[in-house]
Structures are given as C-alpha cells and as structure tokens.
Amino acid sequence: MKIVLAYSGGLDTSVLLSWIKEKYHAELIAFCANIGQEEELQGLAAKAKATGASKIYIDDLREEFARDFIFPLIQAGAIYEGQYFLGTSIARPLIARRMVEIARKEKADATAHGATGKGNDQVRFELTAAALAPDLQVIAPWRDASFREEFPGRAEMIAYCQKKDIPVQASARKPYSMDRNLLHISFEAGILEDPWMDAFAPRNKGMFKLSVAPEDAPDKPEFVTIDFEAGNAVAVNGKALSPLGVMKTLNRLGGKHGVGRVDMVENRYVGMKSRGVYETPGGAILHFAHRQMETLTMDREVMHLRDSLIPKYSEVVYYGFWFSPERLALQAFVTESQKNVTGTVRVKLYKGNIMVAGRKSPVSLYNPRMATMEADPTQAYNQDDATGFIRLNALRLKVAARVQRKLSHG
C-alpha cells in the first residue's frame, strides 16, 4: 500500500508518518505545501526520510494560491458570518488537490491528514478528495480510537519519537494553536477558549505575527492605491504586481498599521461553536478596496444579487465544498459580475482602520452631472418623472392600509 501524507515536519505529523507506515505496512510519501506559512523548509526532506518516508514533495504553491483561490474569493466578496476572511478554509482545497495529483502520479492508494475529528479541516480535505478522486481512500488517524488511546497527549508523542529515533525538536507548547498562510494567521484553542479573555490586551502582544497593535501603529496615516482589472488587483501604488506580489505587499502595509485583526466566535460545520482570532492585514485591505471599486462600476441589480449570494458562497467555502458544482456555478456568476470592475482605489490606513480616500474608473457608472443637486445640464433625469414612480410603488401600501383600517374599525 502507498499513502500520501500531508506533512509539516512537526511533532504531530512526524508521529503520524511513522504510525501510519507501521499500522498499514505502507510506503509513505510526504507532501509539504509552501502556501506562505514562512516556516523553515530547509532540512525537511532529510527529516521526512529519517522518519520513514520513501519520498517527499515540497511544492511552492503561493502564486497558485493567490491567483486561483484568494483572488476568486475576493471577487465574490466572501466573508463568513460577517467577520471571517476564510484564510484557513480557502487553503485546504489547494493542499488536498495537490495531494490527489501526487497520489495519481505515484499510483498511491490513499491520502492521509492530521486534522482532528472536531474541526472543519477534516471535512475540507476529504470533500476535496471525494470530488477529485472518489476512488482514493482517506486515512484520518485522529478519528481512529486506537491512535487517540496511544497518544492522549504530547508527552506520549515525544516518548514515541524518542523510542523510534524520530528527529523532532520538542519545543514548549504554545498556549494556543496557530495556522499561517499567505492570506492570514489564525489562533485558537488553549487560552483562547475563554471568549471573555481579551486577545488584544497588551499582555498578548507577543501572539501576533503579521500586524502591530493599532495603538502601536504609526501616528501618521499612509495612503495606498490599488489598481483593479476585471475585479482583480494588478498593481499597488502604481507598481504592477502578480497576485502573490499583491498579497505580500498589502500584508506588509496592513500589518504596519494594525489592520485586519478579528476576534470572533464562529459556527463550525461539525456543529459546535469555536473562538478564533485572526490576522488578515492584506486580505482586509483587498476586500475593502474591491468593494469600493464595485460601488463605482457595478450595476445596482447585479451588485444586490451578488451580495445576496455572499452568505451562501462563504458557507460553501467554509464547509469545504470548493470543488462542488454549486461553488463553480456561483463562481461563474461572480466572474460575469466582475467584467467592468476596473479602475483605481485609494485607501488610508491609520491605527487599525481602513478608510476610502478616493476611487476612479474609466468605466465608472457614476455620473456627477446627473446626480448633482444643481440643475442637470444633461436633462437625462426629469424630476417630474419621480411623481408617477412613487405613486405606483405606493399603490400596494395604500391598498393594504385601507383594508387594515376597515378591519380595525369593524
């Protein structure tokens, strides 16, 4: 049997690699995706081999992540439960897709992951595999009772590694778990399980990696321009950039000014509520600026229809259905809606805030001469027409009011 394992080189995946190999008498192929986690990948291949992998793939997927996953998400205006920019949710289908591709190439029988049985990631990994390779088996050790019995805590994992001569560096356990990629960093569990605990209190400053606290941000605001073409950011401050370049630049600028921090209690797909703290500096700027570009260039009815679909689109992504027919159908509508979302937005960053400071477009639908409160030189809008417009819209309200009056007077 041959199995492709999502591998990071940390304690958990090192134990998983050895344990799965032993239990299934299998050949293990390790896979690590570079999606902007900024972890040290040097020496990972040697560590995987020493742990028992026959081969390891270390793939730089950052550009693909930005272009094919983050940017379509931004075009859709997606934000889960009004706050979460979907940073972890959107990364999982990319990792799982690459695992399937490697499994096909290596003629593997299964993929394996280290997601727990309580979270969303197990669903995201496995729904992607089901959509792209329904014949592949998926192995999830944390849902195996024998694995949980053998490893009830970190101490047992460390002892296992020592016994098996697995090269892991046992570090002090952080009082929370962290996941980082190009779009965000998420923090959860541990001390964050108390929703009354203030994650942004000065004593917790050391937790954050991408952004300074708003109170520590520069006292002078910074203006940033973002150019859009058909709904995608193509330049920052006049400099043409790839999607990866856009994300890296906006992360740096946003982090400097403390923007994009979120603390929320969210509804997991598996049925429980969880508390998550997020840093999404670049994504927050991009989401805000994109909306500003749409206000100038998008038709009212198209915008309202797209906006009505944001909760559904966000839910589909959060739940792990990126490769589902409904997400593809929604994306087709989103792509069509973005054809004229072209122009430039200027934003002001200041102490955790993102404020609009201007927008312009060669295909702007805003006509100041028509919208002016002064005399309309175009004569395109005749105010007298509004009388009939209001009368017709008021007709059903008047009819209902008369009926209700009759009923109330017996």
Does the active-site annotation cover 198?
no
Angle at 57 (CA atoms; ends 54, 62), nearest 5 degrees? 165
Single-letter code of the amino acid located at 148? R
Which of 12, 62, 98, 180 is the catalytic position? 12
DSSP β-ladder status, 110-112 and 137-139 = parallel
Task: Please tell me which residue in 8, 62, 97, 121 is annotated as part of the active site.
Answer: 121
Select from 114, 119, 110, 117 the least CA-distant residue to 143: 117
Whether 92 is catalytic:
yes
| Residue showing tokens 């029988």 | 109
Instruction: Please state whether 230 falls in left (phi above 0), alpha (psi between -120 and 50) or beta.
Output: left
β pairing state of 53-60 and 27-34: parallel
**DSSP of 239-291:** EE--HHHHHHHHHHHHHHTT--EEEEEEE-TTS-EEEEEEE-HHHHHHHHHHH
Is residue 54 part of the annotated active site? The answer reads no
What are the phi and psi torsion angles at 143 (to 5°)? -100, 10
- What is the number of other CB atoms lying within 10 angstroms of the CB of residue 222? 15
Instruction: Tally Cβ neighbours within 10 Å of residue 378.
Output: 9
Catalytic: which of 62, 92, 97, 261?
92
Task: State the Cα torsion 74-76-81-83 to the nearest 10°.
Answer: 20
Which among 187, 169, 146 has a CA at the least distance from the CA of 43? 169
Pairing mode, if any, of strands 239-240 and 273-279? unpaired
Catalytic residue at 177?
A: yes
Rounded distance between C-alpha atoms, residue 84 and residue 263, angstroms: 9
**Strand 273-279, strand 261-267: pairing:** antiparallel
The answer to whether the CB of 354 falls within 8 A of the CB of 259 is yes
Catalytic residue of the set 60, 143, 148, 177: 177
Q: CB neighbours (10 Å) of residue 34?
A: 16
The alpha helices in 120-242, defined as continuous H runs, are 121-132, 145-150, 154-164
Tell me the DSSP string of 299-330: -HHHHHHHHHHHHHHHHHHHHT-TTSHHHHHH
The residues that are catalytic are 12, 92, 121, 177
